[in-house]
Amino acid sequence: MSTELFTEEGSAQVVAASFAAAPPRLREVMTSLVGHLHAFVKDVGLTSAEWEAAIAFLTATGQRCDDVRQEFILLSDVLGVSMLVETINHPAVGGATESTVTGPFHVVTSPPRGLGDTIAADVRGEPCLVTGRVTGAGGEPVPGAGIDVWQASPDGFYDVQQPGIQPEGNLRGLFTADASGRFHFITVVPGYYPIPDDGPVGELLRTSGRHPYRPAHVHLEVSAAGYRTVTTHVFVAGSPYLDSDAVFGVKESLVRDFAVTDDPALAARCGLANPFRRVEVEIVLVPERPASATGIPPSGGRTG
């Protein structure tokens, strides 16, 4: 018999060899995965009971996924894998705005809105004017850039978490930058919030002595023809949990002061009571990368 049989010592090599006929990239990924996974099992001396518990945990994770909740993305987030993949695939080169995780709540299409519109159908909270500009790395404006925005309420909930309480599409909006690359809209200052912790991921955090909270932030996904799409956040300076984000998404360059602004004329033009909160957002895009020699497509697709 010429085929090598399974042994504890040679387990990874035997399993990896079974992928020899797979397409090149799949073979590369699976060979590495098998090697690291088998090394992990041997390193910790995984018991049969622990293996069964892991299978049950993964099964329960899948069972908590539905049209508005992605528990596997949540698991990836709290293990830091989402941020690692994002950081590897979207390096902040050429002065580009730093990226961060999409998160588990970008699962609906944001309603198209006009510049200056409010995304807060439920107006409770502190009104806030968001102004910004999309440019290339050389400072040139990017007219017509798409700015997809979504955020939690001041109470820390997304619309999909509160059907019948928040209107559908609340605190979401899809804007188009003007000829100067500028955009602006009205919202309310978001609150910090816990990631969904009533499922297996939450149980993992509790058992591990970890909290489930994320600091207050606004999500933005900015895209334009010929440029790499960036998925990023604007974090509220001074928010709790900036130094211990449950999904490791905070980057110092993304923290902004949502300052109290006393400007009666601007408030009147925007339909806001004076004073109000304001934040300025500068988004810098870099040119799209061509498909690599490995066949990996250019960046820009959604992850969840």
Q: If 0-12 CB within 10 Å is exposed, 13-18 middle and 19+ buried, where does residue 105 land?
A: buried
pLDDT per residue rounded down to tens, the chain (304 residues): 446 899 999 999 999 999 999 999 999 999 999 999 999 999 999 999 999 999 999 999 999 998 878 899 999 999 999 999 989 988 888 889 999 988 777 767 899 999 999 999 976 899 999 999 999 999 999 999 999 999 999 999 999 889 999 999 999 999 999 999 999 999 999 999 999 899 999 999 999 999 999 999 999 999 999 999 999 999 999 999 999 999 999 999 999 999 999 999 999 999 999 999 999 999 999 998 765 433 444 443 332 3
Nearest alpha carbon to residue 256 among 238, 230, 229:
238
List, for residues 61-97, the tens digit of each pLDDT value: 999 998 878 899 999 999 999 999 989 988 888 889 9
Q: State the burial class of residue 24 (Cβ atoms within 10 Å of its Cβ: 0-12, 13-18, 19+).
A: exposed
Q: CA dihedral in degrees (213, 155, 104, 38; nearest 10)?
A: 20
In three-state secondary structure terms, 97 is: coil
The CA distance from 31 to 17, in Å, is 8
Tokens of 210: 């970890």
SS3 82: helix
What CATH number does domain 71-285 carry, 1.10.10.10, 2.60.40.1180, 3.20.20.140, 2.60.130.10? 2.60.130.10
Q: By the 8 A CB rule, do 255 and 235 touch?
A: yes
Position 107 scores a pLDDT of: 67
The amino acid at residue 215 is P
Distance of CA 28 to the CA centre of its chain: 27
- pLDDT at res. 302: 32
pTM, rounded to two decimals: 0.86
What is the Cα–Cα distance from 231 to 253, expressed in whole angstroms?
14
All structural domains of the chain with their residue ranges: 11-63, 71-285
The token duo for 219 is 């999500």
pLDDT value, residue 3 = 66
Q: Residue 247: its pLDDT value, please?
A: 96
Contacts of 62 (CB under 8 A, 6+ apart): 71, 72
Cβ atoms of residues 136 and 227 within 8 Å? yes
